[in-house]
Amino acid sequence: MFVWFFFSFLILGKFLAKVDCFVCPNYLITPEAGPIGVIPSSRVGLSVIPASYDCAYHFLIHPGWALHLSISTHYDQLLGDNITFTDNLGVVHILPTPKQHIDEWSSAPTAIFHIKTMSNTSQMFAIYEFVNVEKKYKQVALNLAVKNTQDYDTLLELIFVYDGGDVKNCQMVGRLSNFLKKKKTSSFNNITIVNFYEVDSPSYLIGNDWSKVSVFSKYKAILTSRNQQTTGELFDASDRGAAYTWICSDCNNFYWTILKFHKSTTTISKAYIELRSLSPTHNTSTLLNYSVSTTLERNFPQLIPSRMFTMINHHSGIAVTLDTSVTKSSTQKWLKPFDGRRGVIFSPSIWDSKTSPSFSFQFEDDDQKFMFGVNVNDVRIATAGDSLTIKTGPTASNNFSYKEFVSDHTEFRTRRESKGNFMQISYEGWDRRSMAIVSFDMKKINCGNAYDLFRLFFFLLFWLCYK
Ligand SMILES: *[C@@H]1O[C@H](CO)[C@@H](O)[C@H](O)[C@H]1NC(C)=O
Ligand SMILES: *[C@@H]1O[C@H](CO)[C@@H](O)[C@H](O)[C@H]1NC(C)=O
Ligand SMILES: *[C@@H]1O[C@H](CO)[C@@H](O)[C@H](O)[C@H]1NC(C)=O
Ligand SMILES: *[C@@H]1O[C@H](CO)[C@@H](O)[C@H](O)[C@H]1NC(C)=O
Ligand SMILES: *[C@@H]1O[C@H](CO)[C@@H](O)[C@H](O)[C@H]1NC(C)=O
Ligand SMILES: *[C@@H]1O[C@H](CO)[C@@H](O)[C@H](O)[C@H]1NC(C)=O
């Protein structure tokens, strides 16, 4: 009795599967009928699709909701079979063959899942779910004029962009990859991005105020990370300039090691390269400015104590190299004196007001003497106890020249010069409103000749005595 029942159930099941599973619904599939469902209906795994099947499953998606389709396929397009998903933007995704598992998403208002076969061997199974985006996903509102930092991050395909501040009342206007490529703008002052796939993308989005970026002829962001050497060929023929925001994802220092103007693409009289802190949106002023000069290379390496800054290139073609090494050897290069060298030392707080003003650098060469020149360009001491100190002198002696600034009122707009093997410039303090900008130069003291003369003298003396 039991066995018979079991058999009849099986037969009925088989019958139902043949007849019912791949019927084509002639109605819109909506969340009202249930937020979760399967295709083919009442199945739980890969199912053989009948030959000459041609069915479009139409989904109706409410504002603020999204459709998630998790699809398994085992099929062959060469046999004339085709399975496609068309999202709300009308973009058709042909499901890959031969055997795949893939997730597809669509936002409001509609999506179509289309199965078309000629053969009787293809298989598929899909689970669909209507998802309340507002409830389930954290929303990020960004300001306008988003640019991507990498040309190829396939994960950007998986991030949806909504035009406006929420996903319910606003249109999904594209996937992030496309949105960035087409430089779409928002009809509101903000966009919302949603990453349904919950995979972390390596890209950084830099949101800029459009009015700040549009003043440049070109705007790009360059993303790097620690221990990278990034070389760029940048060109701009306008006075407006091309702006490049450099970002280090996991470090706080750039060593700018090379700046070369290319003669053929540079208008020498008009060319200059500006560096400003942070991004154009922050509307910061210029902190470094280089133009064509025969002694240009003596300005490098130059330390930029920030994880982000913007370089603006005017009337020139340039080659630049920036190094984000955190190794001892790159620090040593920065701290090595050489004849004719110039540079500027900044508190990190000048580049990013969220960072500390403190720094300490000792430029040193035990084998050579230098004339060190120091100009305190600016100093702001916001808290009593903070201080800027400058020491120069011979190493291994306490007899160095010493100057300490303990308040804004310390007379600082005077150039100081002194001889020695080392120059130490440091700022001690934690108040983020404090800062110091100190420029320096170095000139090797030509004691070699004096020493030689000295030797000659003794040699002569010795020779005379001996004689
Ligand atoms: C599958 O459908 C897509 C989109 O409709 C179409 O471009 C493609 O040619 C079709 N492939 C086959 C094998 O029918
Ligand atoms: C599939 O189609 C082939 C011919 O195209 C036929 O010989 C075969 O019996 C069919 N198989 C099933 C399970 O219907
Ligand atoms: C974002 O845009 C919406 C309009 O969709 C607006 O209501 C909201 O105030 C905006 N938010 C911000 C931070 O500008
Ligand atoms: C941006 O900075 C410039 C000069 O530094 C200033 O004149 C201008 O008002 C600033 N704009 C905004 C919107 O803060
Ligand atoms: C930078 O230098 C150039 C050329 O020397 C000059 O025209 C420009 O005004 C300077 N920019 C700033 C912000 O000082
Ligand atoms: C220390 O420096 C001063 C001034 O530079 C100099 O007159 C003096 O002789 C030096 N003393 C020593 C011990 O080197």
pLDDT, tens digit, 9 for 90 and up, residues 20-43: 478 888 899 998 888 899 998 877
Would you say residue 56 has pLDDT above 90? yes
Which of 95-109, 176-190, 245-259 has the weakest average pLDDT?
176-190
Instruction: Report d(CA 81, CA 114) in Å as an integer.
Output: 11
Most confident by average pLDDT, 87-101, 170-184, 297-311: 297-311
Cβ atoms 357, 261 nearer than 8 A: no
pLDDT (mean) for 201-226: 75
| Per-residue confidence (pLDDT) for residue 382, from 0 to 100 | 87
Nearest-CA residue for atom 14 of ligand 4: 283
Give 86's pLDDT tier (boundaries 50, 70, 90): very high
Give 8's pLDDT tier (boundaries 50, 70, 90): very low
Would you say residue 143 has pLDDT above 80? no
| Per-residue confidence (pLDDT) for residue 208, from 0 to 100 | 66
pLDDT (mean) for 274-301: 93
Cβ atoms 277, 355 nearer than 8 A: no
| Per-residue confidence (pLDDT) for residue 316, from 0 to 100 | 95
**Cis before 63 (ω within 30):** no
User: Ligand 1 pocket, 84 CB below 6 A?
Assistant: yes
Instruction: Report d(CA 406, CA 248) in Å as an integer.
Output: 33
CA-nearest of 342, 424, 336 to 387 is 424
Ligand 2 mean position, distance from CA 71 (Å): 25
State the DSSP code for 117.
-
In ligand 4, which atom is closest to the CA atom of 285?
5
Would you say residue 17 has pLDDT above 60? no
Would you say residue 249 has pLDDT above 60? yes
CA distances from 256 to 325, 328, 349, 363 (A): 11, 16, 19, 17
Handedness of CA 82, 85, 91, 97 (dihedral sign): negative
| Per-residue confidence (pLDDT) for residue 129, from 0 to 100 | 92
Q: Token digits for 100? A: 């795949």
Would you say residue 144 has pLDDT above 70? no
- Other residues' Cβ atoms within 10 Å of the Cβ of residue 120: 13
User: Ligand 1 pocket, 456 CB below 6 A?
Assistant: no
- Exposure of 299 by Cβ count < 10 A (0-12 exposed, 13-18 middle, 19+ buried)? middle
Give 226's pLDDT tier (boundaries 50, 70, 90): confident
Q: Domains along the chain? A: 21-134 (2.60.120.290), 139-207 (no CATH), 218-329 (2.60.120.290), 335-467 (2.60.120.290)
- Exposure of 49 by Cβ count < 10 A (0-12 exposed, 13-18 middle, 19+ buried)? buried
User: Ligand 4 pocket, 286 CB below 6 A?
Assistant: no
Ligand 4 mean position, distance from CA 212 (Å): 10
Nearest-CA residue for atom 8 of ligand 4: 283
Residue 306 or residue 221, greater confidence: 306
Which of 117-121, 132-136, 247-251, 362-366 has the weakest average pLDDT?
132-136
Residue 206 or residue 324, greater confidence: 324
Which of 186-190, 242-246, 461-465 has the weakest average pLDDT?
461-465
User: Ligand 5 pocket, 293 CB below 6 A?
Assistant: no
Give 6's pLDDT tier (boundaries 50, 70, 90): very low
pLDDT (mean) for 286-313: 96
The residue type found at 70 is S
Give the ligand at the shortest distance from the Cα of 85.
Answer: 1
Name the average pLDDT for the chain.
81
Strand 387-393 to 254-261 pairing: unpaired
Nearest-CA residue for atom 1 of ligand 5: 289
Beta bridge partners of 426: 360, 389
Instruction: Report d(CA 300, CA 290) in Å as an integer.
Output: 11
Q: Token digits for 364? A: 């040193």
Instruction: Report d(CA 236, CA 241) in Å as an integer.
Output: 6
- In the numeric block, the tokens 């002194």 are attached to 418
Would you say residue 83 has pLDDT above 60? yes
Instruction: Report d(CA 165, CA 43) in Å as an integer.
Output: 40
Give the ligand at the shortest distance from the Cα of 284.
Answer: 4
Nearest-CA residue for atom 6 of ligand 3: 165
Instruction: Report d(CA 208, CA 320) in Å as an integer.
Output: 24
pLDDT (mean) for 135-164: 56
Using only C-alpha atoms, what is the Rg of the chain? 34
Residue 395 or residue 176, greater confidence: 176
| Per-residue confidence (pLDDT) for residue 416, from 0 to 100 | 83
In ligand 3, which atom is closest to the CA atom of 170?
5
Give the phi and the psi of residue 9 in degrees, each rounded to 5: -65, -45
The residue type found at 227 is N
Q: Indicate the helix (H) or strand (E) that contains 329.
A: helix 328-334
Give 141's pLDDT tier (boundaries 50, 70, 90): very low
The vertex-441 CA angle with 356 and 302, nearest 5°, equals 50
Would you say residue 203 has pLDDT above 90? no
pLDDT (mean) for 199-205: 62
Would you say residue 251 has pLDDT above 60? yes
